[in-house]
Structure 1
Amino acid sequence: MAAESVRWGILATGGIAAAFTADLVDLPDAEVVAVASRSEASAKAFAERFGIERAYGEWGALAEDADVDVVYVATPHSAHRAAAGLCLEAGRNVLCEKAFTLNAREAAELIALARGRGSFLMEAMWMYCNPLVRRLKELVDGGAIGEVRHVQADFGLAGPFPPAHRLRDPAQGGGALLDLGVYPVSFAHLLLGEPSDIVARAALSDEGVDLQTGALLSWESGALASVHCSIVGGTATAASVTGSQGRIDIPYGFFFPDRFVLHRDGRDPQEFAADPADGPRNSLRHEAREVMRALRAGESESPLVPLEGTLAVMRTLDAIRERIGVRYPAETLGEDRGEGLGEVVTSA
């Protein structure tokens, strides 16, 4: 695969699938060859929209398509374990949307399956592949603001979302945390790793999903992270990283920034801006390029989005849900089989 185009299959036909495919078709070394949906009509309409050769009315046909190098799984996260697992079982490489799965147990199962098959697997955490976010991490890791003391990040949508919406549906893993909170939590993980302790509070809906959640994460180093997510209020969607010798502020859209400002003690603020050559700030092409780079290099996972990091984020999300009392129907069934949310490694 060193020189030829990477052939993609798209599993699901919703808004994020369309956004990702639109970016893929603009990449000269990517080719979208197949799409699948549980509805044949939906798959055919999507294929016609993007000029895709094959449209399947069930997931299995895409998973078995030997002409597909990698499948992008864009279902709701409640179906990620089933969809990604089906593709991995068939020998396909997989890029799976976030939140990666419902819980850490499911994430560990997918990771074990990929490693057992020797297949590539990556969470579609596009923030980690964003050039400006990567630059920010380089600065922090290089000591530009000294030792990290505090991370703050929030992501909230104003709504209102009716009870029938997927964000309010427990069967689809609804709530603010897995859909939006995964970004602030992942941002904190990017800079500090897995926390040693977690405190969390939430307001829950009548359906039993979180309408908004706030969590305080802490590390043995003394560092703290304040993270918040909401589907009942539009937040600044901003982030900041405070260190012993300075601070970095990221304005609106911290997970796809167009700029950030470095403040260092005794110096003028320094602004870092996105390179216009990298494309629109909401482009998903960076994660696609990273997948294709890794496939051509024969890598089974990406160093930018490592699987152990994805699993650690899922453990943190599990721990937060333990504290706020959110469980999903699929997990209740899992408990009947002796399975839980997954191992929670943090204290209350």
Structure 2
Amino acid sequence: MARWGILGPGYIAGLFAEDLARAGARLSAVASRDLGRAQAFAAKHGVPRAHGSYEALAADPEVDVVYIASPHSHHHEHARLMLSAGKHLLVEKPFTMNAAQAHDLIALAREKGLFIMDALWTLCNPLYRLLQARVAAGEIGTPRAFAAQIGPMGTGDNTRILDPAQGGSFTLECLTYPLNILAGLAPGLTKGASVSAQGLLTTQGVDSAATVTLKTAQGYASMAGGFVPGTGGMGGSGFQLIGDKGWLAVTDNLFNPGKALFSTGAGVEELTDTGHEARYGWEIAEVQACLSEGRLESTRVPHGLTLEVMGLLDQALQHIRGRVLA
């Protein structure tokens, strides 16, 4: 079984460590630039080794695969370090800051013969995969329209998501979800799409709310939402996909679906998945299955989809910020 390491002992990394334990996976090491933080995380989660530098984690011979949980402003730098040291990777979303960085990491992983995957838990969720299979089978006909709404998203005490130095961006942080969902469910609504977007910019230039629209010959897609600083929770988040023979709607949680409606000529079904509380467990299982089978790319979160979505995010942010991304 693959031996895991965690880079960046933050809140999400703690939830991930709990789900590694539930999955029976082996968490061998954690690293932070602050040794005290790494040691505290290790003590809380029963991790054998705590490193005070990322270079030490990269050099750890007891680690096979690393979960990158640092702010996404540093994903490219940290992932490159780990790949250069021969580590397989699961990179927390958003995968990188832009498409150029994503292309670079995937090319390096392929060159090194290493596994790399965007940590989009939604795409590994069993209910999402069921919806994907039924849409692919033509049960709602040709998809023509998609709509998603996120939030209002609370920020709580997390100042990172509104900090430009740490990649703060509602579009990168949240709209990556519906874009990945759409690209996986209805590629005819994303491939070659013309993209338009608008957003609300803070005084620091961070998009705190945004709406993105895609148009192709097959149809349209729209998605929107925003942060409400100082509050908690995810608000009302969901999505709908309309085809020319039926439709579907996720009614409870866009990020980790547990309930959906699926409508065809035969009527409306309510679909549920009582195991969706597994959180990160589904993506952990996917990584471990790929590694045990010697696959360097997930079929559930394929490289092509990650690159396509990063390209769409680039275009959206260029509209919102009024400039080409660095």
Q: If the length of structure 1 is used for normalisation, what is the TM-score?
A: 0.88
Taking the aligned partners of 1:128 and 1:37, their CA distance within structure 2 comes to: 28
Q: Which amino acid letter does the alignment assign opposite residue 138 of structure 2?
A: G
TM alignment of 1:186-197, pairs within 5 A: 186-193=180-187, 194-195=190-191, 196-197=193-194
* Corresponding position: 1:205 with 2:202: yes
TM alignment of 1:291-310, pairs within 5 A: 291-310=287-306
Distance of aligned partners of 1:282 and 1:218 in 2 relative to their CA distance in 1, 3 Å threshold: farther
Q: Which amino acid letter does the alignment assign opposite residue 298 of structure 1?
A: G
Taking the aligned partners of 1:160 and 1:56, their CA distance within structure 2 comes to: 29
Show the counterpart of 1:336.
none
Show the counterpart of 1:97.
92
* Corresponding position: 1:184 with 2:178: yes
Q: Which amino acid letter does the alignment assign opposite residue 263 of structure 1?
A: S
Alpha-carbon shift at residue 161 of structure 1 (Å): 6.4
Q: Which amino acid letter does the alignment assign opposite residue 173 of structure 1?
A: G
Alignment check: 8 A CA contact 2:252 2:260 kept: no
Alpha-carbon shift at residue 261 of structure 1 (Å): 0.9
Show the counterpart of 2:75.
80
CA deviation profile, 1:57-116 (whole Å, cap 9, x unmatched) = 110111111211100001111010011110000000000000000000111110111011
Alpha-carbon shift at residue 188 of structure 1 (Å): 1.4
* Corresponding position: 1:47 with 2:38: no
Alpha-carbon shift at residue 236 of structure 1 (Å): 1.8
Paired residue for 2:216, among 215, 219, 223?
A: 219
Alignment check: 8 A CA contact 2:252 2:259 kept: no
* Corresponding position: 1:19 with 2:15: yes
Show the counterpart of 2:317.
321
Q: Provide structure 1 residue ranges, at least 5 long, that are not aligned to the other structure.
A: 328-339, 343-348
Taking the aligned partners of 1:303 and 1:323, their CA distance within structure 2 comes to: 31
Alpha-carbon shift at residue 268 of structure 1 (Å): 2.7
Q: Provide structure 2 residue ranges, at least 5 long, that are not aligned to the other structure.
A: none
Alignment check: 8 A CA contact 1:161 1:168 kept: no
Alpha-carbon shift at residue 160 of structure 1 (Å): 6.2
Show the counterpart of 1:237.
237
Q: Which amino acid letter does the alignment assign opposite residue 207 of structure 2?
A: D
Alpha-carbon shift at residue 54 of structure 1 (Å): 0.4
Alpha-carbon shift at residue 252 of structure 1 (Å): 2.5
Show the counterpart of 1:58.
53
Alignment check: 8 A CA contact 1:35 1:55 kept: yes
TM alignment of 1:19-168, pairs within 5 A: 19-28=15-24, 30-159=25-154, 165-168=159-162
Taking the aligned partners of 1:26 and 1:235, their CA distance within structure 2 comes to: 28
CA deviation profile, 1:146-204 (whole Å, cap 9, x unmatched) = 11011111222344668x81111111110211111111111111122334201111111
Alpha-carbon shift at residue 240 of structure 1 (Å): 0.6
Task: State the identity as a percent.
Answer: 38
Alpha-carbon shift at residue 326 of structure 1 (Å): 6.4
